[in-house]
Chain A
């Protein structure tokens, strides 16, 4: 994989996680093509080929709705994330899409200052280079720790 593509993908991942960790959720749908696929699924379901996950969206509209719901409808105790993304491996793309596989960990910080490892797993991304900036055509978040503490509100 050429250095420019590696850099472009890692830069996309970095901008993505900073937007989430900075609570710039309104920017989150803009990291995706439209239509797209965004799915959070346990490693257990993913490994067994079971389709149901925790979140599924297949359009920018569905991603915007998730943000609207978090902002206006859903009730949860204030918290934020700190994402760590590493070990990004890029496979040769097809049809202008690159496939990138990265390890991630998300530390969740509650309002009282308690921080804990909330989610650990894989990002399996298909990235479009068709436009001026790379975008996620598909982002699968495959989490290893299948026992979710309390709830999942903010996207991973």
Chain B
């Protein structure tokens, strides 16, 4: 097979981005190819918020695709990303989820690394009483932890295995970068985590985030309160690569919405009212009237503003049919007590039990189950046309097609 070909025998239908082969969600060789060509390829992978490791020595363990990674603030205050695999016998160097350390010591044979990944000492390097020990030819400088490229942008920490990834601002492009900065304008505080195990391929959750078409159809809670109607003002921005997107909508109005009620869609229940409307009493904190912004960065990172609920979502593949989804919620360091309470109440909208997100935990599994036996077949992506471009409507699948453009480019398929 030619080096440029990452298809693993999957044939893309002639309709191009308007079709997606189901085999991409189930084939173990595709999954392995994604690890090499995407996650360890020329992309920027989200690791953490810089605010999670504020103090020198603070570290956190995470993953890039399947690969375990340590992200650590060194004694100079710089953030490093290191493969979490001892250069000796391949054990996890950090086996705790987080901590603070001056040095990183592998538990297995006590090899010690500094916070930049350099191997500093090897236990019994000179042996014991002149017996054993490493040969003279062993050079510690050649056996550090693999150090990845790191980029910090607006308080987000990314890493890349590849020298071919462009600088982070070029990777994001100006339109995406501006919307990242919009929701990270000043110092933040991390307010909590949630983790979910999804019974679906990682790409189904990525697509779900880019799929503005489903938002008010699957998530009927939001629609009923006129917070996320497709006919509401808003739109989709897709970057030049296709891999990143922003979906946004402008603050809800009280006007009735003919497009929905005429269609008698299940979500347009007129008699449904909140008993306690404090849930949706928020602030236009960014001063632009945008009440919802979902932003994705290729390959597997999402930022969310749902009213005043702010979070980032890290999407970790765990085999062809499983995905771990990690929500990290944040507010701003200068939030007052009333804002803390608004964010706490609006956290009900999102997360594993979120009024407008709990369905997303299950819907990918519905697809994953349904495509068993669908080898050689494909799904249809024609809402909003067959192309990839920014559109002034959310009734489109343009950003989902954009994902597949970037995916095909990266995979050579």
Interfacial residues, chain A to chain B (CB-CB below 8 A): 40-42, 44-45, 50-62, 64-66, 68-69, 72-77, 146-153
Contacts and interface: CB of A to CB of B under 8 A. Distances in A.
Interface in B328-369: 329, 340, 343-345, 347-348, 351-353, 355, 358-359, 361-362, 365
A42 B193 contact: yes
Contacts of A53: 192, 347
B274 interface: yes
A148 B193 CA distance: 12
Contact of B361 (A50, A58, A150): A150
Nearest to B364: A150
B346 to A, nearest CB: 9
Contacts of B351: 52, 54
Interface string B266-309: 01010010111011000000000000000000000000000000
B218 interface: yes
A27 B267 CA distance: 25
A130 B346 CA distance: 31
Contact of B352 (A57, A59, A74, A152): A152
Contact of A42 (B194, B218, B275, B343): B194
Interface of B: 190-199, 218, 220-221, 224, 267, 269, 272, 274-276, 278-279, 324, 329, 340, 343-345, 347-348, 351-353, 355, 358-359, 361-362, 365
Most B CB within 10 A of own CB, among A40, A66, A148: A148
Contacts of A51: 191-192, 340, 344
Contact of B221 (A57, A61, A73): A73
A151 B197 contact: no
Given A51-B344, A56-B348, A73-B355, A44 B193 contact: yes
Contacts of B358: 74, 76, 151-153
Contacts of A62: 275-276, 278-279, 345, 348
Nearest to B191: A52
A74 B356 CA distance: 8
A148 to B, nearest CB: 4
Nearest to B311: A52
B353 A68 contact: no
B354 to A, nearest CB: 9
Contacts of A75: 218, 220, 359, 362
Most B CB within 10 A of own CB, among A42, A55, A150, A153: A150
29 contacts: A40-B353, A42-B195, A45-B192, A50-B191, A50-B192, A50-B193, A52-B191, A52-B194, A53-B192, A61-B276, A62-B276, A62-B279, A65-B276, A69-B355, A72-B269, A73-B224, A74-B358, A75-B218, A75-B362, A76-B358, A76-B362, A147-B195, A147-B196, A148-B195, A148-B352, A150-B197, A151-B358, A152-B352, A153-B353
A147 B361 CA distance: 12
A151 B355 CA distance: 11
B340 A152 contact: no
Given A55-B348, A147-B324, A72 B272 contact: yes
Contacts of B193: 42, 44-45, 50, 52, 146
B350 to A, nearest CB: 10
Instruction: Give the top 10 A-B pairs by smallest Cβ distance, nearest first.
Output: A52-B192, A61-B276, A151-B361, A61-B275, A50-B192, A73-B221, A152-B353, A148-B352, A52-B329, A45-B192
